[in-house]
């Protein structure tokens, strides 16, 4: 069992930055891939970024490449999402997720409760 708690969301102006954190409990954190997803009002939840269990493999949604960076600290059981040059279209509830295996593949098994990110003009 893995429990995930996100933090770091908030209101920011366009062009600004936010850093999301996701603290995980459970012994399997360091051996599974992690991801960030988001869901905007009226839209389906979508993949934003993912990172393999060792942190050496990452993947991003095209629209956030070059602006967002995912990282993890296995010693702290925490995964981060650094978001720079934020745009209004980044406004959404952001969810942390844990996969079942070492790679970013398939549907995550565990989900956090989400944290709101609002980007104003």
Q: What percent of the chain has pLDDT over 90?
A: 88
For residue 81, pLDDT over 90 is answered with yes
For residue 37, pLDDT over 80 is answered with yes
Name the residue with higher pLDDT: 35 or 28: 35
Burial class (CB in 10 A: 0-12, 13-18, 19+), 2: buried
> What confidence score (pLDDT) does residue 105 get?
87
Query: How many angstroms separate the CA atoms of 32 and 16, rounded?
Result: 31
How large is the average pLDDT for residues 61-72?
98
For residue 51, pLDDT over 80 is answered with yes
């Amino acid at each position: 069992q893995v429990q995930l708690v996100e933090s770091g969301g908030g209101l920011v102006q366009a062009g600004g930055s936010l850093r999301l954190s996701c603290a995980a409990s459970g012994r399997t954190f360091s051996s599974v891939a992690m991801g960030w997803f988001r869901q905007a009002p009226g839209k389906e939840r979508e993949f934003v970024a993912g990172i393999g269990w060792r942190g050496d493999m990452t993947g991003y949604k095209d629209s956030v490449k070059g602006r967002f960076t995912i990282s993890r600290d296995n010693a702290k059981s925490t995964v981060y999402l650094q978001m720079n040059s934020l745009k209004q279209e980044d406004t959404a509830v952001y969810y942390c997720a844990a996969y079942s295996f070492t790679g970013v593949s398939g549907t995550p098994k565990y989900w956090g409760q989400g944290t709101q990110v609002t980007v104003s003009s």
